[in-house]
Structures are given as structure tokens and as C-alpha cells.
A and B are shown apart, each in its own frame.
Chain A
């Protein structure tokens, strides 16, 4: 059976190593219609469906159907950290706040979405899909030979419908690494991809089903080549790539760099690169970025890129002193709070220049001074106005009060041996009660 080998543990980027015999063997499974690199061309240029005059499966003429452009509708997790059969249903919620005690799983939800997102950037090994400490430590209610982690995400795909993707991973006792047990992608009701261990069924063009075997350590939605850019799998991956997931670590954020970073990693380490790429791609983002920082940082005048030579750039902020004289500060020398406000400014600017975007920010109030919190939350809520979505987690009373209770979800677990559950704050708190006060008091609201 294919997939039991472990010696082909290279990422999709290695597929470009055309002469590598391991790559050739893997490509024969990933691209069952023929090795696209055999002729030195990209996968999408040689797929036989591309030669067909009819549209591929899932390609819907623009205007026939329309859905809310960008939105994470649902996340489901089973046997993942503190989650067992836990669902976050946020369909049709433009703004969502997740609150709960430490260890209730708020940040883990972002980790799940981030893992899905990395699939779209080529992370394809089942063993690398999840962050450390992912397998639940919770006692199981039913005997299990080995726990199977199941994660699901439902997302809107513009002009295509709702994409529902599920992935089950397991590590049988004799195995050194995780393998894929099941995988499925349904777009607008059509089964685009079905997978059981190594056996993959995939919808090509004209409804043609293609079956092939794939190393069961590889996640197929990450490695499958598709005939056209508007194939549902590619659309799904494109929307995953567009998710803006934030958990800034200001001490690691730098303004120097020379890489193209369209969307940052959650830590925002390469902030300078993200800034430059955003401004290059969407020049209209600069003015809202500057306007936000002029309000938030006293004396701020402009942001500037300085060439450090050899394709390396450095981000600097220009300020005006009280005496009127200009001076510059390297981005790396800003305070932690100023760096986080910069992340907020760039996120809001991106939402304005290139809507819609979905933002999931783990504790946006961290490092930010109290008077700035409501402004920051309001700005991010505003950023989601153009058919986007803003999801946040928070412990901060000011941030909690900036969300309506109808858009606030409470994560709770009665003990560390119990799985976390999610419920709308509306169900748990009396209409006139202040949720932040109730949480601060430690009221038994769950």
C-alpha cells in the first residue's frame, strides 16, 4: 500500500527538485494524470482537463450565485487539546469575541485555523500539520485503540459557495508518525475530494472522478495539483491564504527584511516585509495606515522604507517633536504597544484597500494602553464592515465591553479533565448584567 513509507518526507517545495527520484515517485501519485514537470512545465499547464472547452467542476459563472464573500462559518475539533466534539458556529457573525478562563481553548482555536492556513502554503506532512501538544490529554469516555484527531472548517468561497473541509489524523501504536485517516472537501454540496487512508478520489473537470493512491503521511488538499486557478480546491486554498491570523510578539517583530510577505505569520515577526508588500500591492493602504497611526501615536508623521542595500529594506517612522523638528525611529526601537498598534493600523489599512478580509486576533488588547483598546476594537470591527469578519479573543474588560453579547461566545470547562464547550453569552448572562464584571467576579456563568 502506498503511503507507509517515511523516506519521502519532504515538503511540496521539494517537488521542484525535478530530478530527485523521491520527487518523481511522489509526483506520480499526486499528479495521477502524468508528471507535469516531465516536460518542464507547471502542473496547471499540462492537465488534460485544461484542454477541454467546458468549465471544470465547481466553476460557477460569476453572477449566478453569490455568498457572503469571506467568512469562517464554523470550526470543529475532536480530540484536539481541550476539545472533544466541540463546535464553534459563527456563521453570519461579522464580529466575534471569544472569552473564557485560561486553558479554556481560546488560543487553540486560532492554532486550528492557522494549521488549516498552512496547508494552503504547502505544509503537507500530517505530522507537521498540528502544533505540539495537540493530541488530547483528556480521558476518553469510550475505549479507543488510538485517538483520532478530527478537525473541520467551513468557509465561504466567493462566487463558489461554502467549502467544508475535514481532516482526521491518527497515529496507530506501531507508527512513528501521524497519518491521514480521512480527508474530505465539499464545496457548495459537491464532493470535490474524498480520502480514506491512502486512497484518494478527486473531482477533475467535467465531473470526471480520478482515483489514486497517496502517501498517507501527506495531506492531499495541500499537494494536489489542480487544472485551473478557479478549481474549488485552489479557491479554497486561496481563501485560506488570505486569512489574517494575528498573535503579535512585539519583541520579535522587525522592520528589516527583503522578502515578499503578503500575509504575516501570527507573530508578525516580519512586520517590515508585510508592510512593504502591502504597500507595493495596494498603494491605497498607505493613507489609512498613516491616518490610524497619526491618531494613535502622538507626533507620528509618516512611515518610510530605507534601503540598506542588496535588496534589504528597513522600516522607519518619522515623528515631529514638540519643537517642530523631525526625527526618525527605527521600527525595531518602538515600544511593544506601538508595534501592536502598527499591526492594527496595517490590518485596518489592508481591509480598506483590499476588502474583504477575515481577521482572527488572539488578544488584540495585549500590550495596548487602556485608552487605545476601544479605538483598536472599533477600528477592527469597522475593518470587517466590507463583507469581512473580525474574530478576537480577550480577557480585557474594556475589550469585552466593546462587543455585543450576541457576538460574544464563552468557552468554559468545569475542570481540567473536562472538554471545553462554547455557548453564546446571551444564553448565560442576564440581559442587564455586565459580562466583564461577571467574568471578573468569577461568577459561575457557565
Chain B
């Protein structure tokens, strides 16, 4: 259970496969008790609806950040669709990231590029966490993730200090 009165991060995965990536990310986080993985939404549209429905909770807890991880399926506008589902006042605390197509596609691409240890979904999350800790882009600069660059910069500014020690 995160302490809702201290800075914390909720991570909403689109589906169970992305949840496995999120668990790998959580394994690589320093302050694990500041992060909670939500139940998978069951599709990107349901993730958008969940954000729209629950955004009042985000407004109620100013220390909360919401990271939504989806498969973009080639539609990069989905990120802004989700961000626009909540009021502008809290949109700066919502972060939408994910692979350009789907997570399996990303796994295969990273595996063939030798960009991660092992071939599991959680290994993707661990590399992503290592990047966030060190502020690097070994994973995030990949062709299938580079579209996240503006959001990744915001994550480094706002979410990284919550989850990682300097």
C-alpha cells in the first residue's frame, strides 16, 4: 500500500503482458513502496475510460502520479487521447508511454538487438528502470520507443525523483 499523502506513482497497464513489464520495472525501482501497479485495464480504450472515470481521485491526491502503459498499435495519437480524458489541471500528472506497436513486437526487436538480458517481458521493465535511474536512453531511444521521448523527459523530471534515489 502506498502512502497517499507522500509522492507516489500508480501504474496502469493496458493488459496482463504489459503488467509483466511493469513488475520488472518495479523490481528495478529503489523506492518500491512508492509505486503501485493497478489491475490491468483490458485494452487501451478501457485504460482511457479508467483514466476518465478515476481522474477525480488524481485530483484528490496531489502527490499522486499516474503512468499509463499501452500498446500504441501504430496510433501515437492514443497518448493524447488518454491525456485529454482528464481535466487540464491534472493532465501534467498523467504520463502515457508504450511500444509503437505491441509489447511482443518490442520484445522481439529488443531481443534481436541484444538490448536486454534474457527474453522475458519483465526484463524489458528492468532495462527501462535502469534507464530511468541513470537518466539514459539505452532502451528509450529504440525505434519502437522513441515516440515516447517528450513523455520520457517529463518522467525523468517528475517521476524519477519519487522512485529512485540520487
Residues of A participating in the B interface, judged by any CB pair closer than 8 Å? 295, 371-372, 374-375, 378-379, 381-382, 385, 401-407, 429, 431-435
- Residues in chain A near residue B9, CB distance under 8 A: none
- Residues in chain B near residue A382, CB distance under 8 A: 27, 32
Residue of A nearest to B16 (CB): A434
A381-B27, A434-B39 as given contacts; A406 in contact with B20, CB under 8 Å: yes
Q: Are B40 and A295 in contact (CB under 8 A)?
A: no
B111 shortest CB reach to chain A, Å: 14
- Residues in chain B near residue A402, CB distance under 8 A: 23, 37
With A and B bound together, what is the CA distance between A404 and B13 in angstroms?
13
A71 shortest CB reach to chain B, Å: 16
11 contacts between A and B (CB under 8 A): A295-B33, A371-B1, A372-B1, A378-B26, A378-B32, A385-B27, A402-B37, A404-B120, A404-B122, A406-B20, A429-B16
Give the contacting residue for B16; candidates A372, A375, A381, A435; CB below 8 A.
Answer: A435
- State the majority secondary structure of interface residues on A: helix
- Residues in chain B near residue A295, CB distance under 8 A: 3, 33
B121 close to A (CB within 8 Å): yes
State how many residues of chain B have any CB contact under 8 Å with chain A. 23
- Residues in chain A near residue B103, CB distance under 8 A: 431
Q: Are A434 and B20 in contact (CB under 8 A)?
A: no
- Residues in chain A near residue B120, CB distance under 8 A: 404, 406
B24 close to A (CB within 8 Å): yes
A377 shortest CB reach to chain B, Å: 10
User: Knowing that A374-B1, A374-B37, A378-B33 are A-B contacts, what are 6 other residue pairs whose CB atoms are under 8 Å apart, sorted by A's residue number?
Assistant: A372-B1, A374-B36, A381-B27, A402-B37, A433-B16, A434-B40
B157 close to A (CB within 8 Å): no
With A and B bound together, what is the CA distance between A406 and B118 in angstroms?
12
- Residues in chain B near residue A433, CB distance under 8 A: 16
Residues of B participating in the A interface, judged by any CB pair closer than 8 Å? 1, 3, 15-17, 19-20, 23-24, 26-27, 32-33, 36-37, 39-40, 42, 103-104, 120-122
With A and B bound together, what is the CA distance between A378 and B28 in angstroms?
11
A295-B33, A401-B37, A404-B120 as given contacts; A375 in contact with B1, CB under 8 Å: yes
With A and B bound together, what is the CA distance between A434 and B83 in angstroms?
25
Q: Are B23 and A404 in contact (CB under 8 A)?
A: yes
The 8 closest A-B pairs by CB, nearest first: A371-B1, A432-B15, A404-B20, A431-B17, A404-B122, A404-B23, A406-B120, A378-B32
A374-B1, A378-B26, A381-B27 as given contacts; A405 in contact with B36, CB under 8 Å: no
A229 shortest CB reach to chain B, Å: 35
Q: Are A432 and B16 in contact (CB under 8 A)?
A: yes
With A and B bound together, what is the CA distance between A45 and B122 in angstroms?
50
A379 shortest CB reach to chain B, Å: 8
- Residues in chain A near residue B23, CB distance under 8 A: 402-404
Q: Are A431 and B16 in contact (CB under 8 A)?
A: yes
B21 shortest CB reach to chain A, Å: 9
B67 shortest CB reach to chain A, Å: 16
With A and B bound together, what is the CA distance between A372 and B1 in angstroms?
5
With A and B bound together, what is the CA distance between A371 and B33 in angstroms?
12
- Residues in chain B near residue A401, CB distance under 8 A: 19, 37, 39-40
With A and B bound together, what is the CA distance between A378 and B34 in angstroms?
11
A374-B37, A431-B104 as given contacts; A405 in contact with B27, CB under 8 Å: no
Q: Are A406 and B121 in contact (CB under 8 A)?
A: yes
